[in-house]
């Protein structure tokens, strides 16, 4: 009797596990389908190429060109990665290979706190510090007149936001490399730095790619902090000192307003669909690289 009870209980747990698994696994597809249906009105009436590559955004007269938003998003994301990736890599190597374990124990909570700060706080910090810093200092330094609200401001704020995120993954990646591998390299006469450069980075490569990939996806989707400092001007930015507009900011700034304009809601849903497609794409590419690496190297 007791045994039967136990078996049944197990079966119930098992069923629930499968149900939750299916639910979680199907969520991206449901989301995709939902967004597709909602943006169908727009996709049906326009060429996909026109939507993606037209520069004119005049919803009032039925012109929906997403190009400025796509370009804005790409600039902000890539620039943020360009700033944060090397910092994260060097920091992770330093704290895992060159300092005592105690240092890491102090560092971890600090990183976690940074990662836990709400993005609106980062946005405020951007407005109060980064924007004036760019308009009063960086701009003049390069001989450019700028209000400060710019691609650069967004990228700087964004890079500070994703550093703790990427750094946490990278530290974990470097910490899990067996110490024996280091010993092997050193015993062959490599210096500490040669060991890091040639052996450890190579060993960590799939993890490094994954960390950067996740950081990139996160930066691409970040909304609040970016829209507070990027300027929100629908124009192709000519330099990093120009204001821009990003896809998430487009949705957040406009959803719920002006929905009386025909196809407007559909257009915002289309922006969301692009975001989702890009993040899925990042994920696939990342997994491709990691699989390939595991198969051909390591």
Partner 1 sequence: MKPTHKIHIENLNVYAGKQQILKDINIEIPKNKITVILGPSGCGKTTLLKCMNRLTDLYPELKVTGKVLINDKNVLDAGEDIVKLRQYMGLLSQRPYPLPMNIYNNIAFGLKLKGVKRRRELHKQVVHYLQQANLWDEVKNRLREPASRLSIGQQQRLCLARGLAVNPEIILADEPTSALDPISSQYIEEKFVELKNDYTIVLVTHILRQARRIADYVVFMYLGEVIEQGTVEEVFGNPKMEKTKQYLGGTFN
Binding segment (CB under 8 A) for partner 1, from list 40-48, 116-124, 176-184, 266-274: 176-184
Q: Which parts of 86-125 interact with partner 1 (CB under 8 A)?
A: 100-101
Determine if 188 is a binding residue for partner 1 (CB under 8 A): yes
Q: Which is nearer to partner 1, 173 or 247 (CB)?
A: 173
CA distance 213 to 290: 11
Q: Which is nearer to partner 1, 188 or 236 (CB)?
A: 188
Determine if 202 is a binding residue for partner 1 (CB under 8 A): yes
Shortest distance, position 186 Cβ to partner 1, whole Å: 6
Determine if 176 is a binding residue for partner 1 (CB under 8 A): no
Number of Cβ within 10 Å of residue 79's Cβ equals 19
Helix axes 2-38, 264-296, angle to 10 degrees: 120
Q: Which parts of 73-92 interact with partner 1 (CB under 8 A)?
A: none
Residue 232 · residue 206 · CB < 8 Å? no
Give the list of residues 6+ apart from residue 99 with CB closer than 8 angstroms, or none: none
Q: Which residue has the tokens 């330094």?
A: 141
CA distance 69 to 81: 18
Q: Which is nearer to partner 1, 180 or 257 (CB)?
A: 180
Shortest distance, position 214 Cβ to partner 1, whole Å: 22
Residue 189: φ, ψ to 5°: 100, 15
Residue 57 is inside which H or E element, if any? Answer: strand 57-58
What's the full length of the chain, in residues? Answer: 298
Determine if 181 is a binding residue for partner 1 (CB under 8 A): yes
Determine if 31 is a binding residue for partner 1 (CB under 8 A): no
Binding segment (CB under 8 A) for partner 1, from list 67-75, 182-190, 257-265, 271-279: 182-190
Determine if 179 is a binding residue for partner 1 (CB under 8 A): yes
Residue 117 · residue 219 · CB < 8 Å? no
Shortest distance, position 289 Cβ to partner 1, whole Å: 15
């Amino acid at each position: 009797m007791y045994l039967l009870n136990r078996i049944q209980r197990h079966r119930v747990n098992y069923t629930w596990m499968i149900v939750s698994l299916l639910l979680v696994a199907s969520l991206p597809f449901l989301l995709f389908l939902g967004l597709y249906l909602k943006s169908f009105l727009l996709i049906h009436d326009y060429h996909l190429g026109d939507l993606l590559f037209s520069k004119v955004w005049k919803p009032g007269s039925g012109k929906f060109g997403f190009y400025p938003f796509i370009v804005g998003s790409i600039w902000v994301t890539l620039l943020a990665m360009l700033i944060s990736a090397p910092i994260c890599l060097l920091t992770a190597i330093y704290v895992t290979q060159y300092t005592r374990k105690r240092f890491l124990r102090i560092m971890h909570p600090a990183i976690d706190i940074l990662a836990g700060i709400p993005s609106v706080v980062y946005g405020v910090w951007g407005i109060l510090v980064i924007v004036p810093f760019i308009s009063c200092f960086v701009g003049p330094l390069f001989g450019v007149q700028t209000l400060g609200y710019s691609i650069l401001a967004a990228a700087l704020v964004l890079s500070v936001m994703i550093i703790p995120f990427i750094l946490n993954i990278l530290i974990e990646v470097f910490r899990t490399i067996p110490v024996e591998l280091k010993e092997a390299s050193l015993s062959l006469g490599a210096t500490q730095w040669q060991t890091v450069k040639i052996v450890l980075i190579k060993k960590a490569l799939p993890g490094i790619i994954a960390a950067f990939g996740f950081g990139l996806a996160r930066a691409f989707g970040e909304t609040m902090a970016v829209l507070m400092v990027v300027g929100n001007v629908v124009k192709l930015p000519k330099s990093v000192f120009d204001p821009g507009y990003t896809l998430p900011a487009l949705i957040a700034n406009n959803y719920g307003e002006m929905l009386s304009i025909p196809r407007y809601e559909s257009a915002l849903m289309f922006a969301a669909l692009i975001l989702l497609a890009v993040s899925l794409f990042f994920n696939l590419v990342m997994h491709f690289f990691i699989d390939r690496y595991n198969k051909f190297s390591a």
